[in-house]
């Protein structure tokens, strides 16, 4: 069963999220000497920056062991305002203190922006090169996926009732009809997410309350976030603020 931990604000989520990430980093590096993460865009990078850029935090993160992939990405240039890479760069990467060892960040290959299926296939190949060649595995195992939850219950670019929720083969899929703009995107698929060691969602603000009620109270409706909860169970932790979970009928730990 997924865990919900609720805090008063993004500022108080940040240190808790930091400790959680630090634990995941340690487990991963002890296991294979690197930390393979997948990150969402949207509101997540700003909270991540609060968690990771604080003076004590930034020095405990072993940045040069981090290998950062995108849980989903929009088919736009990397400096476009809709780019998840661009957002992460602006919110976090560009703010790392001078001299910080750099993480290995794997963006989409922008040569293929005009062909979103090829863009997805190329990102799939990047995952194959990274994971399969090193570990001889059939599916990539992210040490941690840090995900957002849209107000309709989507996560990554997996939208409610979309055919992509039934994808069983591809690790990365193309979507050309995203109900949220921009329409053309690529996304990790559910089987890859389900294969992750840990998943953390971050959802804040009263605007998420209604959908969190549906995700947790009616998992049988199969919203994308509910599917992740069901697939990973106790490996999933939700970092939320009080307004986001007010009135949600699901056990949770509350903190200041």
Ligand X SMILES: O=C1O[C@H](COP(=O)(O)O)[C@@H](O)[C@H](O)[C@H]1O
Quote the least distance from Cβ 66 to ligand X, whole Å.
18
Please name the residue ranges forming H helices in 5-115.
Answer: 10-32, 44-52, 55-60, 84-91
Asked whether position 148 contacts ligand X by CB under 6 A, the answer is yes
We find the least distance from the C-beta atom of residue 133 to ligand X, in angstroms, to be 27
Residue nearest to ligand X according to CB distances in the complex: 42
Q: How far is CA 79 from the centre of its chain?
A: 20
32: Cβ–Cβ under 8 A, 6 or more apart, which residues? 135
Maximum distance among all alpha carbons in the chain?
Answer: 49
Instruction: Answer yes or no whether residue 41 interacts with ligand X by CB under 6 A.
Output: yes
Indicate the pairing of strand 185-188 with strand 172-175. Answer: antiparallel
**Residue 96 burial class via C-beta count within 10 angstroms: exposed 0-12, middle 13-18, buried 19 and up:** middle
- What is the rounded distance in angstroms from the CA atom of residue 66 to the CA atom of residue 64? 5
Q: Which is nearer to ligand X, 36 or 157 (CB)?
A: 157
- Chain centroid, CA 49 distance in Å: 14
CA gap 246, 179 in Å, rounded: 27
Contact range with ligand X by CB under 6 A, out of 26-34, 35-43, 105-113, 214-222: 35-43
Alpha carbon 189 to its chain's center: 12
Q: Does 84 bind ligand X (CB under 6 A)?
A: yes
* Residue 157 lies near ligand X (rule: CB under 6 A): yes
CA distance 147 to 199: 7
Question: Within 50-79, which residues bind ligand X (CB under 6 A)?
Answer: 72
Minimum Å gap between C-beta 137 and ligand X is: 25
Of the pair 62, 110, the CB lying nearest ligand X is at 110
Which part of the chain contacts ligand X (CB under 6 A), choosing from 12-20, 39-47, 59-67, 246-254? 39-47
Binding mask 179-218 for ligand X (x = CB under 6 A): -x--------------------------------------
153 interacts with ligand X by CB under 6 A:
no
Q: Which of 86, 103, 107, 150 binds ligand X (CB under 6 A)?
A: 150
Q: Indicate the burial class of 59 (C-beta count within 10 angstroms; 0-12, 13-18, 19 or more).
A: exposed
User: Which CB, 100 or 151, lies closer to ligand X?
Assistant: 151
Rounded distance, CA 126 to CA 117, Å?
14
- ∠ CA 134-234-145, nearest 5°, is 40
* Under rule CB under 6 A, residue 43 binds ligand X: yes
Closer to ligand X at the Cβ: 42 or 196? 42
Q: Which is nearer to ligand X, 157 or 226 (CB)?
A: 157
Q: Does 160 bind ligand X (CB under 6 A)?
A: no
Residue 42 interacts with ligand X (CB under 6 A): yes or no = yes
Residue 121 interacts with ligand X (CB under 6 A)? Answer: no
List residues binding ligand X (CB under 6 A): 40-44, 72, 84, 148, 150, 157, 180
């Amino acid at each position: 069963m997924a865990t919900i931990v609720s805090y008063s604000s993004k500022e108080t989520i940040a240190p808790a999220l930091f400790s959680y990430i630090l634990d995941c980093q340690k487990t991963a590096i002890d296991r294979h000497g690197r930390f393979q993460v997948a990150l969402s865009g949207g509101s997540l990078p700003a909270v991540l920056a609060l968690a990771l850029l604080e003076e004590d935090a930034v020095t405990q993160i072993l940045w040069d062991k981090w290998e950062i992939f995108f849980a989903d990405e929009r088919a736009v240039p990397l400096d476009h305002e809709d780019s998840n890479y661009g957002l992460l760069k602006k919110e976090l990467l560009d703010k790392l203190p001078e001299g910080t060892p750099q993480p290995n960040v794997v963006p989409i290959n922008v040569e293929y922006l005009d062909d979103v299926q090829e863009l997805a296939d190329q990102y799939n190949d990047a995952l194959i090169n990274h994971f399969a060649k090193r570990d001889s595995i059939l599916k990539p195992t992210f040490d941690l996926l840090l995900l957002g939850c849209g107000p309709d219950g989507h996560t990554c670019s997996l939208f409610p009732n979309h055919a992509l929720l039934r994808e069983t083969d591809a690790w990365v899929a193309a979507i050309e009809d995203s109900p949220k703009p921009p329409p053309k995107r690529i996304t990790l698929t559910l089987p890859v997410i389900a294969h992750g060691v840990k998943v953390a969602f971050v959802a804040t603000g009263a605007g998420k309350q209604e959908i969190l009620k549906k995700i947790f109270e009616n998992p049988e409706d199969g919203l994308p976030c509910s599917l992740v909860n069901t697939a990973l169970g106790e490996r999933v932790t939700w970092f939320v603020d009080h307004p986001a979970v007010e009135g949600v009928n699901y056990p949770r730990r509350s903190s200041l």
